[in-house]
Structure 1
Amino acid sequence: MNLETKLPSVGETIFTTMSALAAEKQAINLSQGFPDYRGPEKLLQALGEAVVAGNNQYAPLAGVPKLVEQIALKVKSYYGRDLDVANEITVTPGATEAIYSAVSATVRAGDEVIVFDPAYDSYQPAIELNGGIPVHIQLLPPTFEVDWEQVRDAITPRTRMIIINTPHNPTGTVWKASDLDALADVVRDTDILIISDEVYEHLVYDGQIHQSLNRHPELAARAFIVSSFGKTYHVTGWRTGYCVAPAALTKELRKVHQYVTFTSHTPIQHALASYMTEEPDYPRTLPAFFMQKRDRLANGLKDSGFKLLDSNGTYFQLVDYTAISDLPDDHFVLKLVDEIGVAAIPLSPFYANGQQTGCIRLCFAKADETIDKAAERLCKI
């Protein structure tokens, strides 16, 4: 059979590759972004209770009502936005599905979608599968700041969407209120839509504030805002997130969502709703929790040859390795696994053109002993 691929540039994700290599080599895995510690015990217990209670059949398409209500309360509490519970919130099996459904619902053949590189690797395939054309704007070290004049220059009559991500994976940068205002200036008086990937919304450090599009009514009126329970509650394998969008956009997203997955894991939704009801302020504990881990890793690497870039959000730390090696980043991470038994992620796969920056990404969502052991090994390279 002669099968022509629809995604000729797509292979195995770098996360799958490096995690598999870490397992094979029994290396410390600082590559893929998942914790090696347990989520909140009350939440884990709530899941078991939800299963035993019989919450094991299909949930409503938009989500279990009591979870949707908790999402609305959370958005109001954290960002001051009132939501129409029935028509502006959709629970999805992971943020990636929400992003895919939003793109599929609104991007047509020939539409252009602006993406900021380095970018999470699901954006471009979603665009291309729907006939869209990714338009890549590069963000470069050390600050990875957006050049808004460059964004203006990239806008054409075919621009349908802009995808943003703050706090930003893989760089750990966080947008300022001025960035949201600049984005609003760019899209004002256009029909351009926005996907705002905010899965690390509660992981913002050093006194900064997460500038959610939920805070910005002008942008929120044209945006799909995507969040992740897995990142917030340390349960990435639960694959549960949600999308907040105006009713007209939500209606279109649900048309796709119902035929991609239809609904999300029922007992997990009940468990999340119960925990959010009992512990509504849990996300407010996360900045201090993760700052301690970020700073622990930084302290462990202070005598190494790595230069740490600022990490103001997410649970990722970029390090510049150019004082150690002139290898391309995809070769350097293999060297780390082979020689010292630590797995990291190269930055170049996050760029459409494979841009070499001399940086790699480390995940610090790990137990303290894991961080200490990894740092000790990294100081030996």
Structure 2
Amino acid sequence: MSALEPKKEHVSRKAGLFTESVIREMTREAIKYGAINLAQGFPDFAAPEEIKRAAIEAIAGDVNQYAITWGAQPFRQAIADKVRWSLGLEIDPETEITVTCGSTEGMIAAMLATVDPDEEVIIFEPFYENYAPDAIISGARPRYVPLHPPRWEFDPEELRRAFNRRTKAIILCNPNNPTGKVFTREELESIAAFCQEYDALCLTDEIYEHIVYEPCAHISMAQIAGMRERTVIVNSLSKTYSVTGWRVGYCIAPPKITSAIRKVHDFLTVGAAAPLQAAGTAAMHLPREYYAALRRDYARRRELLLGALEEAGFGVWRPDGAYYIMTDISHFGFSNDIEFARALVRDVGVACVPGSSFYSQPARGAQQVRFCFCKKEETLLAAAERLHRLTKRAR
């Protein structure tokens, strides 16, 4: 071997245990083929004028240097005020809130702050693609518990078998990405009972908390009896305020856990963008009617895309929350979801996410794909027109 050739493997073992984001890959494919992007969950419509103006004013006012590492005080106070009316929880902005670079950083910071190598983290599947890599990066072993269609319910006995003395945490996405499931109080209480029995944490991703459709309602795990002190809420401005590119999120946790999250966050990213935190303060002060209008607007978009998918021949699972629709593609005759997604983006001009990317064993999602409907109605109508080309192929 030449002295110039590397003698060691310079890529970590953990980096070899997961792939790049399939969701972001499908966005690149959509750009390549000029397709309508119903894969990655970012809106193609404008953010509220109030918060855009607040960001502009903050930049013009020279709010351009580091904020306090764990978040500007006015923003943390605004988060606490909003949580008081929306969840009925009293949060101390000085000791229980960490502002992060999006909920993505919030989740990995929370995991690195709480989970040790060789501990286990329970993940419901199908799952948002970041959770398993987060567990692996933290040195933990992910354990998967299935959500069963059509209601995407978990079997309490399957969940019980996943808990053991090594269980450190369970990750809950509620409302759920990719399924659109909204967990009921009874289901949350069942999960809470296991967390308390095994002294485990719940890391709850609540980024879609305001995108819930009647008659369902969002309930935070932190509202369940006995869970306030063992819950980390991860949230963000991204989905509620249509600013996915701002990368401003936050974690809410008990003081001891918050202290640990803040230390990890400091050395991961130092802090989130200062002028956008000022805009976040304005977002938290939007009137309550804003959230009601948000739900109404997304309910219309949901119905539009559901109808288009059903007419095109997809089997659909109706979401109760978030802005995704999981579909069954078995009627189209493709061997798997990857083949279908590639044909759809190339030949039909619509991008979706292969369902296998949401499962620990890809075969479980081989006849599923996910679409998002966080788009203008004209975008969804254009997608519906293209999807109609599939009707001749459906068996």
- Contact 1:75–1:214 under 8 Å retained in 2: no
Residue 189 of structure 2: SS of its match in structure 1? helix
User: Would you say 1:369 and 2:378 are equivalent positions?
Assistant: yes
User: Would you say 1:18 and 2:18 are equivalent positions?
Assistant: no
Question: Please, which of 109, 114, 121 is the counterpart of residue 113 of structure 1?
Answer: 121
Who is 2:208 aligned against?
Answer: 200
1:81 Cα deviation from its structure 2 partner: 0.6
Question: Please, which of 123, 148, 158 is the counterpart of residue 131 of structure 2?
Answer: 123
CA distance in 2, matches of 1:187, 1:336: 42
Q: Deviations over 1:339-375 (max 9, x none)?
A: 2111000111111111235221111000111100101
Mapping 1:154-165, distance limit 5 Å? 154-165=162-173
Mapping 1:97-108, distance limit 5 Å? 97-108=105-116
CA distance in 2, matches of 1:264, 1:378: 39
User: Would you say 1:39 and 2:79 are equivalent positions?
Assistant: no
Residue 239 of structure 2: SS of its match in structure 1? helix
CA distance in 2, matches of 1:275, 1:129: 32
1:211 Cα deviation from its structure 2 partner: 1.3
- Contact 2:164–2:198 under 8 Å retained in 1: no
Mapping 1:173-252, distance limit 5 Å? 173-252=181-260
User: Would you say 1:270 and 2:269 are equivalent positions?
Assistant: no
Q: TM-score, with normalisation over the residues of structure 1? A: 0.97
Who is 1:90 aligned against?
Answer: 98
Change (3 A) 1:278 1:168: closer
Letter in 2 for 1:3: H
Aligned residues: 381
Question: Please, which of 150, 160, 173 is the counterpart of residue 152 of structure 1?
Answer: 160
Who is 2:389 aligned against?
Answer: 380
Who is 1:172 aligned against?
Answer: 180
User: Would you say 1:62 and 2:95 are equivalent positions?
Assistant: no
Q: Deviations over 1:171-201 (max 9, x none)?
A: 1111000011101211224321110011111
1:144 Cα deviation from its structure 2 partner: 1.6
Greater Cα offset, 266-275 or 27-36: 266-275
- Contact 2:195–2:202 under 8 Å retained in 1: no
1:230 Cα deviation from its structure 2 partner: 0.8
Change (3 A) 1:302 1:123: closer
Change (3 A) 1:344 1:287: same
Greater Cα offset, 351-360 or 93-102: 351-360
Percent identity of equivalent pairs: 37
Letter in 1 for 2:241: Y
Residue 232 of structure 2: SS of its match in structure 1? strand
Who is 2:393 aligned against?
Answer: none
Question: Please, which of 3, 8, 16 is the counterpart of residue 10 of structure 2?
Answer: 3
1:217 Cα deviation from its structure 2 partner: 4.2
Question: Please, which of 290, 293, 306 is the counterpart of residue 298 of structure 1?
Answer: 306
- Contact 1:141–1:357 under 8 Å retained in 2: no
Question: Please, which of 233, 241, 263 is the counterpart of residue 255 of structure 1?
Answer: 263
CA distance in 2, matches of 1:283, 1:205: 12
CA distance in 2, matches of 1:70, 1:280: 14
CA distance in 2, matches of 1:219, 1:357: 36
Change (3 A) 1:74 1:281: farther
Residue 303 of structure 1: SS of its match in structure 2? helix
Q: Deviations over 1:2-55 (max 9, x none)?
A: 313332132221012111111000011100000111111121111111100111
Q: TM-score, with normalisation over the residues of structure 2? A: 0.93
1:107 Cα deviation from its structure 2 partner: 1.1
Residue 379 of structure 1: SS of its match in structure 2? helix
Mapping 1:338-357, distance limit 5 Å? 338-354=346-362, 355-356=364-365
1:94 Cα deviation from its structure 2 partner: 0.4
Who is 2:332 aligned against?
Answer: 324
Letter in 1 for 2:201: L
- Contact 1:19–1:31 under 8 Å retained in 2: yes
Structure 1 gaps, min length 5 = none
CA distance in 2, matches of 1:110, 1:275: 40
Please list every run of at least 4 consecutive aligned residues from structure 1 whose deviation after the TM superposition is greater than 3 angstroms.
278-281
Structure 2 gaps, min length 5 = 1-5, 391-395
CA distance in 1, matches of 2:286, 2:116: 43
